[in-house]
Structure formats: structure tokens, C-alpha cells
Amino acid sequence: MNEPDTSVRSAVQGRSPRSFGQMLAIGVWVAAGVAGLWLVLALVNPTTTYHFSPLLLSAAPSVVVRMLAEKALPWRKTLVTVAVGVVFAGVVTVILQLADALRGPVLAADFTAVAGSALAETLIAFTIGAVLGGLIAAIRWTRNDRTRKPG
């Protein structure tokens, strides 16, 4: 038996289906919230490193859209969500670097591109977050998870 189309499921559950643009807008708002929280925390405490903030920020739009879509995203839409997360993380990273708010300790000083650099760790973390977010958004996790309608 075929899995019902998203619009049919939404109608049965009493809600209208969301478009990709609507889901992406929600993902942008979530990313903006994470970005704002990270920005405020880092500016208030410049010698504290928030190691997972760039990872969460760059993955947030992809993960949120995937959860709302309830299915794997096509690659083009996945790349759009990943780009949104990377732009947010990049902008916050630049602001924090210019404000000299990336002065905290690093997890693995020997493995960063610039030994002991919180900036390098931040760049590595948001790259890992973008890759993980993209994989979460694009990979089919269940047998019934479809990216296209049959036929």
C-alpha cells in the first residue's frame, strides 16, 4: 500500500500543507533565534567558547525543514537549507571575530588549522554542522520516506 501524499495526510490531520517556502521561513526563524542567543552570550562572555553553537546554527534550518516536511528533501532544497545555515553561522562568526569575542579556550588546539584558535574551531564546527544538517535533510530514514510522488 502506498503511503498517502503529504497533502492528504495534512488534510486528514486537520491542517493545511506547508510549502517549502513556509517551512524554510520557520527554519530561518529558528536559525535567527540560535544566532541571536549565541551572539549575545559570546559578546557578554568573550573568553568563553560556545563550542556547539556554530554546529547547531548551521544545521538548524536543514533539520527544521526536514522535520516539518516529514520526508527527505530533494538535493536542491537541501542545498538551500544548508546555505541558509552557513550564511547565518558565517555572519555571526564574522561579527564575533571583529568584536574580538572569540577568545575562549578550544577543545583540540592541535587539530585546528591555526593552533589554539577559537576562530578555526568555530569554522570547523559550523562546517561539520552544515554537513550533518544536509545529511539529515536529504537521507531517507525509513522505507516509506519518499522525496518524490510515485508515477
pTM: 0.79
| pLDDT value of position 118 | 85
In the chain, the largest separation of any two C-alpha atoms, in whole Å, equals: 58
Q: Is 103 exposed, middle or buried (0-12, 13-18, 19+ CB in 10 A)?
A: middle
CB-based burial of residue 74 (10 Å sphere; 0-12 exposed, 13-18 middle, 19+ buried)?
Answer: middle
Parts of the chain with a pLDDT under 50: 1, 112, 150-151
